[in-house]
């Protein structure tokens, strides 16, 4: 049985947090809100608890987990080395949606890092998450709280839809504010390498870290070697219905073709309303608002049982990079 408890997102009830922390310390699984998406947490120092995460999600064991800590002072049992650049970055961005890849501490079970020599670590900017991490007083490994290959959850209901009966507890802190997973930055290569775009932008990181390698236009500095990041290769972050993206001016004719085939369509528009007959969701016109809504809207369309999702492509500027990345993955395969 999965229990669900509602918490005050600003002032989380200490007795509820204490109970959740006790479940983590005794090897259980607790889903909790972060500022990005809900995470599925387990004690990162407990190998059996970690294996339960992989089982509950149906996640391949070669895909490593992010370890969550309340602050930079709590990374001792997680990373083997804390370079100066990490200290400067977390000084600016933690707590917040920036995950750093660093050499793994020998004490950390291999299951967390999928047997690899590096570990992903971050401090989430969410009061429930921070209270839980402090009360647990162990580092907490937490992937997004969804079944593998499915959409990340931005609400407690989304977590239950995927993981009901597979985990011990869900802490319901309401909808998450960021809506897309954290930026992942590998600090074990020279130069550092952006592995996953997120709400912290390369242009915000570079003044602190120096130039970084990223796959988007701008400066492309070849790294020593491309580090493997298994979770980033596959189709990911995908709704049930096939999703296709079109330049905005081509959407109307595409929708017409699909409608003539009798396909039930969900349409994520950026502009004016269309004909009735399509489920149209008008998306925010600025990147942060769009990011915060995207997964919730895709979850809604899945629940409504549409056969196809058509998305009008947003502008191609840096602040939209994470949104483009997730749309690309959702439409792959
Ligand atoms: O915002 C987030 O990051 C959320 C919340 C819960 O913190 N978590 C999240 O976790 O998105 P997950 O497991 O869904 O995605 C973690 C990504 C995966 O693509 C994984 O392959 C990558 O980070 N990753 C983890 N450890 C890594 C490592 N040592 N080296 C390279 N990539 C790593
Ligand atoms: Mg995930």
Condensed to tens digits (0 to 9), the pLDDT of residues 279-316 reads 899 999 999 999 999 999 999 999 999 999 999 999 99
Which residue has its alpha carbon closest to ligand 1 atom 19?
A: 231
- Provide the CA 142 distance to its chain's centre, in angstroms: 10
Which residue has its alpha carbon closest to ligand 1 atom 21?
A: 231
Ligand 1 pocket test, pick from 64, 116, 194, 199 with the greatest ligand atom count within 8 Å of Cβ, gives 64
Q: What 3-state DSSP class applies to 116?
A: coil
Neighbours of 300 (CB within 10 A): 15
> Residues 183, 101: contact at Cβ < 8 Å?
no
> Residues 95, 142: contact at Cβ < 8 Å?
no
Only one residue has tokens 């310390």, namely 25
Q: Which two tokens stand for residue 295?
A: 């997964």
- Greatest distance between any 2 Cα atoms in the chain: 60
Residue 31 C-alpha to ligand 1 middle, in angstroms?
15
Determine the Cα–Cα distance for residues 7 and 210; give it in Å rounded to an integer: 40
User: Given a cut of 90, is residue 210 above it in pLDDT?
Assistant: yes
> Residues 129, 271: contact at Cβ < 8 Å?
no
Q: Mention every residue, 6+ apart, whose C-beta is less than 8 A from residue 301.
A: 239, 241, 266, 279, 281, 309
Q: Which two tokens stand for residue 193?
A: 């390498």
User: Given a cut of 80, is residue 266 above it in pLDDT?
Assistant: yes
Q: Compare 220 and 243 and report the one with higher pLDDT.
A: 243
Q: Mention every residue, 6+ apart, whose C-beta is less than 8 A from residue 124.
A: 34, 35, 36, 39, 68, 95, 96, 97, 130, 133
Q: Give the pLDDT band of residue 223 (cuts 50, 70, 90).
A: very low
pTM: 0.94
Residue 50 C-alpha to ligand 1 middle, in angstroms?
14
Residues having CB closer than 6 A to ligand 1 are: 34, 36-37, 39, 63-66, 97, 99, 101, 113, 116, 118-120, 124, 142-144, 181-182, 184, 195, 229-232
Determine the Cα–Cα distance for residues 284 and 282; give it in Å rounded to an integer: 7
Average pLDDT over residues 99-103: 98
Q: Where are the beta strands (DSSP E) in the chain?
A: 3-6, 30-32, 39-43, 66-68, 98-103, 118-122, 140-141, 169-172, 183-186, 193-196, 243-246, 265-269, 279-282, 308-312
Residue 180 C-alpha to ligand 2 middle, in angstroms?
10
CA angle 161, 38, 331 (to 5 degrees): 70
Per-residue pLDDT, 274: 73
Residue 101 C-alpha to ligand 1 middle, in angstroms?
10
Residue 146 C-alpha to ligand 2 middle, in angstroms?
7
Determine the Cα–Cα distance for residues 77 and 286; give it in Å rounded to an integer: 39
Q: Give the pLDDT band of residue 11 (cuts 50, 70, 90).
A: very high
Ligand 1 pocket test, pick from 56, 99, 148 with the greatest ligand atom count within 8 Å of Cβ, gives 99
Strands 243-246 and 308-312: parallel
> Residues 106, 80: contact at Cβ < 8 Å?
yes
Per-residue pLDDT, 225: 39
* Mean of per-residue pLDDT scores for the chain: 92
Determine the Cα–Cα distance for residues 244 and 233; give it in Å rounded to an integer: 19
Per-residue pLDDT, 277: 75
Of 300, 220, 296, nearest in space to 266 by CA:
300
Per-residue pLDDT, 235: 62
Which residue has its alpha carbon closest to ligand 1 atom 29?
A: 119
Residue 237 C-alpha to ligand 2 middle, in angstroms?
7
User: Given a cut of 80, is residue 233 above it in pLDDT?
Assistant: no
Peptide bond into 191 cis (omega under 30): yes
Residue 102 C-alpha to ligand 1 middle, in angstroms?
13
Peptide bond into 95 cis (omega under 30): yes
Ligand lying closest to the C-alpha of residue 31: 1
Report phi then psi at 8, rounded to 5: -75, 115
Residue 272 C-alpha to ligand 2 middle, in angstroms?
33
Which residue has its alpha carbon closest to ligand 1 atom 30?
A: 229
Determine the Cα–Cα distance for residues 208 and 190; give it in Å rounded to an integer: 15
> Could you identify the atom of ligand 1 that is nearest to the CA of residue 232?
19
Which residue has its alpha carbon closest to ligand 1 atom 3?
A: 182
């Amino acid at each position: 049985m999965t229990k669900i408890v509602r918490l005050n997102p600003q002032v989380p009830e200490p007795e509820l947090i204490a109970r959740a922390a006790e479940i983590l310390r005794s090897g259980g699984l607790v889903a909790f809100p972060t500022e990005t998406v809900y995470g599925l947490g387990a004690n990162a120092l407990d190998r059996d608890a970690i294996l339960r995460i992989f089982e509950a999600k149906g996640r391949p064991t070669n895909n490593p987990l992010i370890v969550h800590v309340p602050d930079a002072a709590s990374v001792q049992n997680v990373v083997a080395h804390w370079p100066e650049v990490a200290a400067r970055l977390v000084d600016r961005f933690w707590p917040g949606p920036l995950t750093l890849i660093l050499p793994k501490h020998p004490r950390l079970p291999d299951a967390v890092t999928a047997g690899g020599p590096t570990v992903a670590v971050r401090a989430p900017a969410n009061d429930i998450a921070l209270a839980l991490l402090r009360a647990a007083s162990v580092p907490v490994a937490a992937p997004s709280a969804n079944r593998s290959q499915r959409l990340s959850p931005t609400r407690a209901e989304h977590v239950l839809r995927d993981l009901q009966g597979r985990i011990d507890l869900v802490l319901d802190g309401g909808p998450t504010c960021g809506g897309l997973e954290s930026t992942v930055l590998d600090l074990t290569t020279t130069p550092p390498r952006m592995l996953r775009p997120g709400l912290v932008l390369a242009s915000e990181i570079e003044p602190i870290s120096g130039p970084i390698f990223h796959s988007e236009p701008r400066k492309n500095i070849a790294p020593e070697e491309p580090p493997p990041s298994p979770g980033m290769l596959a189709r990911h972050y995908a709704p049930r219905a096939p999703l296709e993206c079109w330049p905005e001016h081509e959407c109307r004719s595409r929708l017409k073709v699909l409608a003539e085939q009798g396909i039930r369509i969900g349409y994520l528009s950026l502009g004016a309303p269309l004909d009735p007959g399509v489920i149209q969701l008008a998306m925010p016109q600025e990147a942060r608002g769009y990011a915060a809504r995207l997964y919730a809207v895709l979850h809604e369309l899945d629940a409504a049982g549409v056969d196809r999702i058509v998305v009008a492509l947003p502008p191609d500027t840096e602040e939209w990079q994470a949104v483009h990345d997730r749309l690309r993955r959702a439409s792959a395969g």
